[in-house]
Structure 1
């Protein structure tokens, strides 16, 4: 269940309440007239089943409450209420399949912001991966994958394509390009420093490296895994399964490929650098294609579910 807290202008409150009462899957409606001060208006609260929330939010935005008042949504971790149980049973579809598009857009907008923290995380992840490729250490590679924050902008780009939001797409693309460019440039400098300290060497990079040589040898399996990971990552975001997202992060060779390319470039190993760059681009392409396709399928399925539910209510 989700909890909605609205601030509504007095002349809009009755219509907002009617929308809530008309929506199958709502419970615990409360209205506090004149309680809001900034902006002035009434406070309306209710609980709504996750699978009914997206349609209700669309209707409330159509009233202009996002401009004249406020719409806040919170997750309810525990609700001991028979009314809430009935609301969830009556709402069409399953909560795990529901997509809150406004919530997804807001979350990916934040994750797609080019911030100092984002650049720091992707740079540190790339440096950890650089140590992993030189040492041929798979544990360090997995750790770098888990630290890397690049799936946020990728998910933001997919969401922007589906929702036709050019500003979000541009923001996500800038975060990806600038983030990886800064991380790879810093890792080149890091590689020079480690070489000066006799911790990195050209011989270690040129060695067979059975645990990590896949990073600069892209093949169709790389693309297949990226596609599967992109679909899984998108599903984890839309269903709020953060644990699954961690698994996705350690499934795709993006940060390690960027790291291998940077280290190889510092040693003028351009064949490895190009192979790693191909691996990076192949993974990014696979994730974007799969993520976008997954969102489009979810959008179509849920739209059909809502149409069937509306038809059943009229009939």
Structure 2
């Protein structure tokens, strides 16, 4: 369930209560008159089944509560209540299959923001990938995969495409096109420093056998990216964060960027080109799979809602 807190003007409180009481998936409704200081008004709290969250938010937006007050939602881990069990039972659908769009948009918007932390993580991941290439260490390559934060803006781009959100689309693209060149540029400088001190004794990257999978792009690369993207989006929708670790170590986005940099510094432009192609294939596959999962889930929700409406009409007749 989700715990919802609503700040609203006093003249809107009864309408807010009516919207919550009309929703079968809402329970534990509490009102505190005059409790809100900024913005001034009343505070209404309720526990809402995930399946009903979108309907409740839609009703609150229609009452201009978002503009005149505010709505906060947080997941509730444990609820011991017969009323809560009844609300979840009466709510249509299943919690695991429910997409709370505002929650997803908020999460992807945060993960796709271009800031110093995002650039720092991506740079560290590229440096780790370069070290993995130089040392022919698949373990270090896997470490770079886990550290890389690039799945956030890729998932955000898919959400933006499905929701036709131009602002989120610009934000996610900006994060990718700015952060990757910076990270790769820093990695290139570090590679030249390593070569200058003689710490890189690899005469040709063609001799590497443990990490050569990074630049060997092919149809399987795209299939893996599709599967990883689908799993990643499902993990976001169902809040299965543990599954995201498997997604991170499935695709060679950051390792491909690091491999391309090392290959360029070593003058091996064929491998640099193949690594860049691997990077593009993986990013495209992830975005396509994420968008497809979202589209299918949206269509399924619409068809389920239509079916419920049809059943209700039949019963009424």
SS in 1 for 2:203: helix
The question of whether the paired residues in 2 share the 8 Å contact of 1:135 and 1:204 is answered with: no
Structure 1 unaligned residues grouped into runs of 5+: none
Shift of 1:112: 0.6
SS in 1 for 2:10: coil
The question of whether the paired residues in 2 share the 8 Å contact of 1:92 and 1:305 is answered with: no
Runs of 4+ in 1 over 4 A off after TM superposition: 310-314
Q: Are 2:277 and 1:282 aligned?
A: no
Task: Report the number of matched residues.
Answer: 314
SS in 2 for 1:79: coil
SS in 1 for 2:6: strand
Cross-structure match for 1:178:
178
Shift of 1:210: 2.0
Mapping for residues 206-221 of structure 1, pairs under 5 Å: 206-207=206-207, 209-221=208-220
CA distance in 1 between partners of 2:237 and 2:161 (Å): 15
Q: Deviations over 1:234-267 (max 9, x none)?
A: 1111111110111101110100000000011111
Q: Deviations over 1:267-315 (max 9, x none)?
A: 1110000000000000011011111111111111112223334455563
Mapping for residues 5-20 of structure 1, pairs under 5 Å: 5-20=5-20
Shift of 1:211: 1.9
Cross-structure match for 1:93:
93
Structure 2 unaligned residues grouped into runs of 5+: none
TM-score normalised by L of structure 2: 0.96
Q: Deviations over 1:115-157 (max 9, x none)?
A: 0010000000011011111222111111100000000000110
Cross-structure match for 2:304:
305
Shift of 1:51: 1.3
TM-score normalised by L of structure 1: 0.97
CA distance in 2 between partners of 1:131 and 1:276 (Å): 15
SS in 1 for 2:45: strand
SS in 1 for 2:11: coil
Cross-structure match for 2:259:
260
SS in 1 for 2:199: coil
Shift of 1:174: 0.8
